[in-house]
Amino acid sequence: MKGLIQRVSHACVSVAGEEVGAIDKGVLLLLGIEKGDSRQSADKLLHKVLNYRIFPDEEDRMNLSLLNTGGGLLVVSQFTLVADTRKGMRPGFSKGASPEQGEQLYRYFADEATKRLSRVATGRFGANMQILLENDGPVTFLLEASPEE
């Protein structure tokens, strides 16, 4: 399971012109789910997302996490994160989870996040989405978690 996190001042996601999720200061998470991922993978990645220290402290050092700051989390499914781009000029998606497994783990991830944070918003799984964000920094990290870790 892969998560591309971006520290944002604000972010929103829309489907067909309708805003379906938005946050102010916090983290935009683009979530990629691979074959073999499980609830255990989701739990490990969620722990990393919530505790990764990417927010500035009083000395402007990245020492605070999303849990420390009480910011929002916007979770958007992004199957292209798990694409194989090593060969050729077209991405391969054979590593990606099936749509059924992907949606199940995406919903599980969002539900678990909601239990730990007061502000969680989501996109719409499988939809063509438009995301507007103001990346703060910019600060962007690729996090990964697997059941074997």
Catalytic residues: 78-80
Structure tokens belonging to residue 102: 């992907």
Radius of gyration of the chain (CA): 15
Nearest to 103 by CA among 48, 43, 31: 31
H or E segment to which residue 3 belongs: strand 2-15
Sequence-separated (6 or more) residues with CB below 8 Å from residue 44: 1, 145, 146, 147, 149
Phi, psi of 60, rounded to the nearest 5 degrees: 65, 30
Cα torsion angle, 127, 90, 28, 53, sign: positive
